[in-house]
Amino acid sequence: MSQDVEDIKPSYPLFREQEYRDTLANKRDNFEEKHPQEKIDEVFQWTTTEEYKELNFQREALTVNPAKACQPLGSVLCSLGFENTMPYVHGSQGCVAYFRTYFNRHFKEPISCVSDSMTEDAAVFGGQQNMKDGLENCMKVYKPDMIAVSTTCMAEVIGDDLNAFINNSKNEGHVPQDYPVPFAHTPSFVGSHTTGWDNMFEGIIRYFTLNYMEDKEVGSNGQINIVPGFETYLGNYRVIKRMLNEMEVPFKLLSDPEEVLDTPADGQFRMYSGGTTQDEVRDAPNAKDTLLLQAWQLVKTEKFVRNTWKHEAPRINIPMGLEWTDEFLMKVSEISGQPIPDSLAKERGRLVDMMTDSHAWMHGKKFALWGDPDFVMGMSKFLMELGAEPTHILCHNANKRWKKAMEAILETSPYGSNSEVHLGKDLWHMRSLVFTNKPDFMIGNSYGKFIQRDTLYKGEEHEVPLIRIGFPIFDRHHLHRQTTMGYEGAMQMLTTLVNAVLERLDDETRGMQTTDYNYDLVR
Ligand code: SF4
């Protein structure tokens, strides 16, 4: 055996050794009925053509490599943002294993979440007994102060009624009557992870405030509520808090998983850490107003906040890039009456300085990007502020109104004149786009690495490098700690983008005596 206890090798490079090459070749030749390599290459080449792209874009009843995830994933993230709260998913155990591993691989943290593990009998007779046992066990074993319930496809297909099940569980004494069990139906065959976040958040604020509005008065606590939406950059929670603290604006971040997703390794396991408290949620209607950082994905929340809390909840853009961070801070200033301090004005000036320094390298660079609706919009806007062109803009989980708004934003800049917006499309569509109209880079989550590999397979000149900004990022470490919002986020994104451009230029110009006339020390 080429594997040796004194010299343990991982699969790469181990599988490159002759013994493994022979084994794999034998398996392929004798058991896999592999097509001839020429045929594979022929089909590969065809999938990179304009003809194939047109067929690909006619695809209706099939998603390949979705650029979104399912609803309960979002509801779990939302629930993790509340103090001592256990996310509870009514449905199949495998779904919950998927949610936990998905976050676990992205955040490199343990993710607490329970399921009531419905199986075949529950799928036929309904999952009420699972709910009763599950709530009781969860409360006794993990001792949360709140259990936030959402559903998987299976529970939704058979039509389980969460309200009735939870009430029956309480009436039968499985959990105390006054024990908080907010819930949200999160059918995964509609919407996406962002819808699930919105549904769960609305479920939680509904639970704590809907029937308790008599003594509430808008503005009486002097605060501003901030609702992040499905947000996986820990730096974004931190930068929003920092900016508001610098402005000395009293605020509450409603759903704040920043601590539980970043616990220290000091010998103590923290199942719960930080988060918005129940009292803060009860008090939220007393705030002066509520700002939704990602309004395109917070439709239900917006409606509830306006109709029940009677907050204006003014429409703001995601605070990404220069102008939209300006807008955010000015809106906060307007609501709170607090001026924007010199510290933030200076930070802004530093960002403008950085943008000017890098402009020559960013100008005219073409980017393909995908992700959630607000992120994609903010990223496109920032690219145009840098003089770059968001050529292919793809969003799997937005609506037609978003597309119209996105196109209107593109029309405001000459850098948006060659852009195309693709709504409800997936990463297999994106693959066709980058083969037929090559951008310089892609911006998106880790799944884009397979598109990059395919473009390289076609030939070096076709390769489109991936810049990892988005969710999930499984194959690089610690990027989730970064910041994409505020001036600080814009600085970090610009640093990432411009250095990707320069790295690429170095790659292309280090050919000895061919291209190295431009392999410069100073860029
Ligand atoms: S799509 Fe449905 S079945 Fe699949 S993980 Fe999500 S909830 Fe479970």
Length of the chain measured in residues: 523
Confidence (pTM): 0.97
All residues at 6 or more sequence positions from 158 whose CB lies less than 8 Å from its CB, including other chains: 123, 126, 127
pLDDT-derived band of residue 1, with 50, 70 and 90 as boundaries? low
Neighbours of 152 (CB within 10 A): 26
Q: Of 236, 473, 204, 492, which is closest to residue 374 (Cα–Cα)?
A: 236
Q: Is 319 in the pocket of ligand 1 (CB under 6 A)?
A: no
Which residue among 88, 99, 152 is best mutated to probe the pocket of ligand 1, counting the most ligand atoms within 8 A of its Cβ? 152
- pLDDT tens figures, 200-239: 999 999 999 999 999 999 999 999 999 999 999 999 999 9
- Residue 339 is classified by DSSP as P
Site of tokens 């304009």: 50
Q: Of 111, 148, 82, 115, which is closest to residue 261 (Cα–Cα)?
A: 111
What ligand 1 atom has the least distance to the C-alpha of 186?
A: 7
All residues at 6 or more sequence positions from 4 whose CB lies less than 8 Å from its CB, including other chains: none
Q: Is 299 in the pocket of ligand 1 (CB under 6 A)?
A: no
The answer on pLDDT for 4 being more than 90 is no
Tell me which amino acid residue 102 is. Y
The protein residue with its alpha carbon nearest to ligand 1, atom 7, reads 152
What separation in Å is there between the alpha carbon of 70 and the centre of ligand 1?
6
Task: Determine the pLDDT at residue 91.
Answer: 95
- pLDDT tens figures, 370-426: 999 999 999 999 999 999 999 999 999 999 999 999 999 999 999 999 999 999 999
Q: Is 95 in the pocket of ligand 1 (CB under 6 A)?
A: yes
Site of tokens 């933030």: 344
Q: Is 118 in the pocket of ligand 1 (CB under 6 A)?
A: no
- pLDDT tens figures, 250-299: 999 999 999 999 999 999 999 999 999 999 999 999 999 999 999 999 99
* Alpha carbon separation from 96 to 6, 115, 402 (Å, rounded): 38, 6, 30
Q: Is 151 in the pocket of ligand 1 (CB under 6 A)?
A: no
Question: CA 93, 231, 388: angle at the middle one, nearest 5?
Answer: 130
The protein residue with its alpha carbon nearest to ligand 1, atom 3, reads 153
What ligand 1 atom has the least distance to the C-alpha of 153?
A: 2
- For the annotated catalytic residues, the residue numbers are 153, 157
Please tell me the number of Cα atoms within 13 Å of 324 on its side-chain side. 26
- pLDDT tens figures, 42-89: 999 999 999 999 999 999 999 999 999 999 999 999 999 999 999 999
- pLDDT tens figures, 431-445: 999 999 999 999 999
Show the tokens assigned to 432.
């066709």
Helices (H) and strands (E) counted in the chain, each on its own, are 21, 11
The protein residue with its alpha carbon nearest to ligand 1, atom 5, reads 95
Q: Is 72 in the pocket of ligand 1 (CB under 6 A)?
A: yes
Tell me which amino acid residue 519 is. Y
Q: Is 123 in the pocket of ligand 1 (CB under 6 A)?
A: no
The answer on pLDDT for 139 being more than 70 is yes
**φ/ψ (deg, to 5) at 81:** -85, 5
Strand order in the sheet with 251-253: 251-253, 224-227, 289-292
H-type alpha helices, 293-426: 299-307, 321-336, 342-362, 373-385, 400-411
- pLDDT tens figures, 458-504: 999 999 999 999 999 999 999 999 999 999 999 999 999 999 999 99
Which residue among 153, 160, 194 is best mutated to probe the pocket of ligand 1, counting the most ligand atoms within 8 A of its Cβ? 153
- Residue 185 is classified by DSSP as -
Q: Is 232 helix (H, G, I), strand (E, B) or coil?
A: coil
What ligand 1 atom has the least distance to the C-alpha of 70?
A: 6
Alpha-carbon dihedral of residues 198, 204, 207, 209, nearest 10 degrees?
-90
Residues 88, 207: Cα–Cα separation, whole Å: 16
- Which H or E run contains 149? strand 146-151
What separation in Å is there between the alpha carbon of 300 and the centre of ligand 1?
22
What separation in Å is there between the alpha carbon of 166 and the centre of ligand 1?
22
Residues 117, 137: Cα–Cα separation, whole Å: 12
What is the dihedral sign for C-alpha 87, 88, 90, 92?
A: positive
pLDDT-derived band of residue 7, with 50, 70 and 90 as boundaries? confident
Average pLDDT over all residues of the chain: 97
